[in-house]
Amino acid sequence: MNEDARYISIAGVEDGWKVISKMQVRGAPAIAIVGCLSLAVEIYNETFITKQMFKQEIEGKLNYLVSARPTAVNMKLAADDLIGMVNDWVEKSVISVTEIKERFIHEIEAMLEKDISNNMAIGTFGAERILKDVPSGSSLQLLTHCNTGSLATAGYGTALGVIRKIFDQNRLEHVFCTETRPYNQGARLTAYEFVHDKIPATLVLDSMVASLFKSRKIAAVVVGADRVASNGDTANKIGTYQIAVVAKHHAVPFYVAAPSTSIDFEISEGDRIEIEQRPDREMTHIGEHRIAAPGIRCWNPAFDVTPANLITGIITEKGVFAPNDIRKLLELQ
């Protein structure tokens, strides 16, 4: 659990793929950043004789990194963007292979700074929208699911960035975070961030959300996203969909906070999003201890898809959009 904090060294692409696949790195923005940085580390001291050799290695290794967690779209979009840049540079005869490599590494390093600035903007836009529905000067209570903070991004966080911004404005009375079974990201990571930052928070089980809405005045739910379809349907950590359903019943606004890089405009609806299936052991064991009857079958999808009609708004670094309006982001890019 969180008895100690350890850093894991990543020496190259194989290490990057493993930490992503094993969920030692998780959160769509962090997956993209760690995946791309693992490639930058690997090629840093490599010498490439031809541009074509560089291009082939980059394409193969980026596509390999995408396969580690296919539902999270940020890695795929980052890979496509970087491959496109390399193809453009290769076609320009005046640019040497050494310069192409330097440009490539610089673009990856820039991803870190851009992710943090995007998260700060998401926090500002999200806090502004949520506080608009609350009496001036009063504080509020929020619910979040899974982990969307500094441990899931380059820093600050998406949904947790919104919560941090409200807290910084002295408007947060309390935040509730779900345990997030079976991998317990809420208990292990989100609770850790809240305690570390001295944000007033309470941990609840996933099965307690309906009772929480009934017994506490929750102003809004704020969650992250691993992939948003072009119609606003949102794939996020398993359990998000049921929270959205319960929030709708209790008339609690339900917000998704995600950078525009998490929106996949090539996917028309949520049913077309590939849902990763995780190992049975994540359900049947806690650490080395079995908690389920031997021989029982398990169904362990890592994500579910929340339909757009259950989502109040999608908070991005460019503003807050109704789910059916997110295509407007294409005009802003």
| Residue-level pLDDT, tens digit, the chain, 333 residues | 556 778 899 999 999 999 999 989 988 889 999 999 999 999 999 999 999 999 999 999 999 999 999 887 889 999 999 999 999 999 987 899 999 999 999 999 999 899 999 999 999 999 999 999 999 889 999 999 999 999 889 889 999 999 999 999 999 999 999 999 999 999 999 999 999 999 999 999 999 999 999 999 999 999 999 999 999 999 999 999 999 999 999 999 999 999 999 999 999 999 999 999 999 999 999 889 999 999 999 999 999 999 999 999 999 999 999 999 999 888 776
Taking alpha carbons only, the member of 6, 65, 57 closest to residue 32 is 65
Given this chain, do its domains 13-115 and 125-332 carry the same CATH topology?
no
Q: What percent of the chain is predicted at pLDDT more than 70? A: 99
Architecture of domain 125-332: 3-Layer(aba) Sandwich (3.40)
308 CB-near residues (< 8 Å, 6+ apart): 231, 232, 233, 234, 270, 323, 324
Distance of CA 330 to the CA centre of its chain: 20
Catalytic pick from 81, 133, 206, 226? 226
Tokens of 250: 């209790």
CA distance 73 to 172: 31
Taking alpha carbons only, the member of 143, 149, 151 closest to residue 120 is 149
173 CB-near residues (< 8 Å, 6+ apart): 139, 140, 141, 200
Taking alpha carbons only, the member of 125, 133, 132, 130 closest to residue 142 is 130
15 flagged as catalytic: no
Q: Is the pTM of this model over 0.95?
A: no
CA distance 330 to 310: 23
Return the CATH class of domain 13-115. Answer: mainly alpha
User: Rounded to whole angstroms, what are the CA distances from 321 to 221, 270, 312, 327?
Assistant: 16, 17, 9, 9
Indicate the pairing of strand 313-316 with strand 289-290: unpaired
Q: Could you state, in order of their start, the residue ranges of all structural domains in the chain?
A: 13-115, 125-332
